[in-house]
């Protein structure tokens, strides 16, 4: 009976594909993990490691290609998308021609289909279909997105379809793209085209971009953050760009994980967009990150992790392929993960920044206006490997802690943040996971155990009971004590041997904040005044 249902379902899928002009030689839909692992090994797409994970390499594309990401400019998007350096417009007719070429490319080829969902909250979840030309990417999306039940799969009707066809490349002079790589978002036709790059993070982030465009008009705040719940039912959020510590700090043995990267905040609370985790694992070790270490097992996809040829064990300390090594695994690989991935309205929010200047305090408490200012600013350092061409930390301002994925103006998201903070009396902290004792190359990366202790103190209310000093340059309230953290660490100036050098670097960064914020135009004086003082 089950086999008959599967055959009928496959026939329906083939018919649906035929209606839009796609005629593959074979369609494999929602295969189980073991089936996919067997195909991946058989096709030499990847290898099995000693701990039974699948190891794959993505060639020269070991990070996202943000300059090759486009949004179709049409009647729907022309006045609603924040066009500029991040959101590149693409003509609708050129999109149609490129899609037709991709369809012809898929003729007589085997494809892999995943039907599932984005969004754990059923009121706001998005039914999706992802079509790939490689089995390992089908395993990746199966682990990363929300997997349907057998009943849900039978009645599944995708609202968005993603075509991630690695072997299809654009011809720039014919197709109007910058290179042969493209990530093309069509919000009107609800289609995403990805070609030329095998880096699987492009699939994940394309759907994040879709949710960031759709949810604000429903009054739901889409967020580039991780989330967890304490034993008392208190929900916490961790905002930050890739590599700043969202996954590491939210994977806490004393708290239950909701999700590690992408969430929505509705009137009912927080919900994860995904059904898995995409953890950065360079220099991963069991003592510092035991939950992530133990999650790397059968069914996990290791992306660009070097594997020892003799032992077949992953070498997480080897960055010869990229600093941006990744592990993709389902969220239930984390002990005590919340399933379905839902939480209440957060009591604490943590903004994470990796300051390469080494001058930001390790933790500071923000007012609502300060939270909106730093959310819009999104200061951090792009860490090595997260984008092609980034080989060492580079100071950057990425509004909303996720500018590469935010289609609307930053003020749209900041307004939602301010409303949520006020309505739910949420406390916000700014945490620096970057450098201390000097800038990158001189100072050292912030001690992870110190950071964990400060975050714990923020979550359990300890920091509500200590005294604060005001940092006049960054206009921040900094705690003068935190149990388990040396007092000199709390004042970054004290960690520098050259105090004048610290002062000059701090003033330089404050000026960068001021100059960057000018790009937002007319913003409330209360928000502008909450930022650093040049």
Eight-state DSSP code of residue 146? B
Q: What is the DSSP letter of 464?
A: G
| C-alpha to C-alpha distance for 398 and 378, rounded to whole angstroms | 5
- Across-strand partners of 265? 221, 270
Residue 340, preceding bond cis, omega within 30 degrees? yes
Question: 377 vs 216, 306, 398, 403, CA distance in Å?
Answer: 19, 36, 6, 10
Q: Whole-angstrom Cα distance, residue 365 to residue 371? A: 9
Give the rounded distance of the alpha carbon of 12 from its chain centre: 33
- What angle is formed at CA 117 by the lines to CA 81 and CA 246, rounded to 5 degrees? 70
DSSP 303-322: ES--B-TTT--B-TT--SS-
Residues taking part in catalysis:
64, 205, 224, 242, 246-247, 261, 326
Contact indicator for 82, 409 with CB cutoff of 8 Å: yes
Pair 432, 485: CB distance under 8 Å: no
Provide CB contacts within 8 A for 411, sequence distance 6+.
376, 520, 523
Please state, as a whole number, how many other Cβ atoms lie within 10 Å of the Cβ of residue 485.
20
Which residues does 414 contact at the CB level (< 8 Å), separation at least 6? Answer: 372, 375, 376, 400, 527
Q: How far apart are CA 104 and CA 224, in angstroms?
A: 36
CB atoms within 10 A of CB 11: 11
Return the biggest CA–CA distance within the chain: 77
HSE toward the beta carbon, residue 295, CA cutoff 13 A: 29
Tell me how far CA of residue 107 lies from CA of 29, 86, 168, 174, 333, in angstroms.
Answer: 17, 33, 12, 21, 37
- Identify the H or E element spanning 148: none
Burial group, residue 44, by CB count within 10 angstroms (0-12, 13-18, 19+):
exposed
Provide the 3-class DSSP secondary structure of residue 95. Answer: helix
Residues 6+ apart with CB under 8 A from 114: 29, 30, 129, 130, 132, 138, 141, 142, 145
């Amino acid at each position: 009976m089950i086999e008959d249902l599967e055959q009928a379902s496959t026939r329906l899928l083939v018919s649906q594909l035929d209606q839009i002009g796609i005629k593959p030689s074979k369609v494999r839909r929602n295969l189980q993990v073991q089936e996919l692992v067997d195909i991946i090994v058989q096709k030499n797409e990847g290898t099995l490691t000693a701990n039974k994970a699948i190891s794959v390499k993505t060639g020269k594309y070991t990070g996202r290609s943000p300059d090759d990401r486009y949004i179709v400019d049409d009647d729907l998007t022309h006045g609603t998308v924040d066009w500029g350096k991040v959101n590149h417009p693409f003509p609708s007719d050129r999109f149609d021609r490129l899609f037709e070429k991709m369809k012809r490319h898929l003729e007589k080829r085997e494809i892999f289909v995943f039907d599932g969902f984005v969004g754990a909250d059923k009121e706001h979840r998005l039914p999706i279909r992802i079509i790939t030309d490689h089995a390992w990417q089908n395993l990746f999306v199966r682990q990363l997105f929300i997997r349907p039940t057998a009943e849900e799969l039978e009645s599944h009707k995708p609202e968005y379809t993603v075509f991630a066809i690695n072997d299809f490349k654009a011809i720039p002079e014919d197709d109007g793209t910058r290179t042969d790589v493209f990530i093309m978002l069509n919000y009107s036709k609800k289609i995403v085209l990805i070609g030329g790059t095998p880096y699987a993070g492009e699939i994940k982030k394309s759907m994040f971009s879709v949710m960031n465009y759709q949810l604000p008009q429903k009054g739901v705040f889409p967020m580039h953050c991780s989330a967890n719940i304490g034993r008392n039912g208190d929900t916490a959020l961790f905002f930050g760009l890739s590599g700043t510590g969202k996954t590491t700090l939210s994977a806490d043995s004393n708290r239950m994980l909701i999700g590690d990267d992408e969430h929505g905040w509705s009137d009912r609370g927080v919900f994860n967009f995904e059904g898995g985790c995409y953890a950065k694992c360079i220099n991963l070790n069991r003592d510092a990150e035991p939950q992530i270490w133990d999650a790397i097992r059968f069914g996990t996809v290791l992306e660009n992790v070097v594997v020892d040829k003799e032992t077949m064990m992953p070498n997480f300390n080897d960055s010869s392929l990229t600093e941006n090594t990744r592990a993709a695994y389902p969220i239930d690989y984390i002990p005590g993960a919340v399933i379905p991935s839902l939480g209440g309205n957060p009591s604490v929010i943590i903004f994470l920044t990796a300051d390469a200047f080494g001058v930001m305090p390790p933790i500071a408490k923000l007012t609502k206006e300060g939270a909106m200012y730093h959310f819009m600013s999104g200061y951090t350092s792009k860490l090595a490997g997260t984008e092609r061409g980034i080989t060492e930390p580079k100071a950057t301002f990425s509004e909303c802690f996720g500018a590469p994925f935010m289609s609307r103006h930053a003020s749209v998201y900041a307004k939602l943040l301010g409303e949520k903070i006020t309505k739910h009396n949420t406390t916000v902290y700014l945490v620096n996971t970057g450098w201390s004792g000097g800038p990158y190359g001189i100072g050292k990366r912030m001690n992870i155990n110190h950071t964990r202790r400060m975050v714990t103190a923020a979550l359990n209310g300890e920091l509500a009971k200590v005294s604060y000093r005001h940092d006049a340059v960054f206009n921040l309230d900094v705690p003068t004590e935190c149990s388990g953290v040396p007092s000199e660490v709390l004042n970054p100036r004290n960690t520098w041997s050259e105090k004048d050098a610290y002062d000059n670097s701090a003033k330089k960064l404050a000026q960068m904040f001021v100059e960057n914020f000018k790009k937002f135009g007319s913003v409330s004086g209360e928000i502008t005044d909450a930022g650093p003082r040049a």
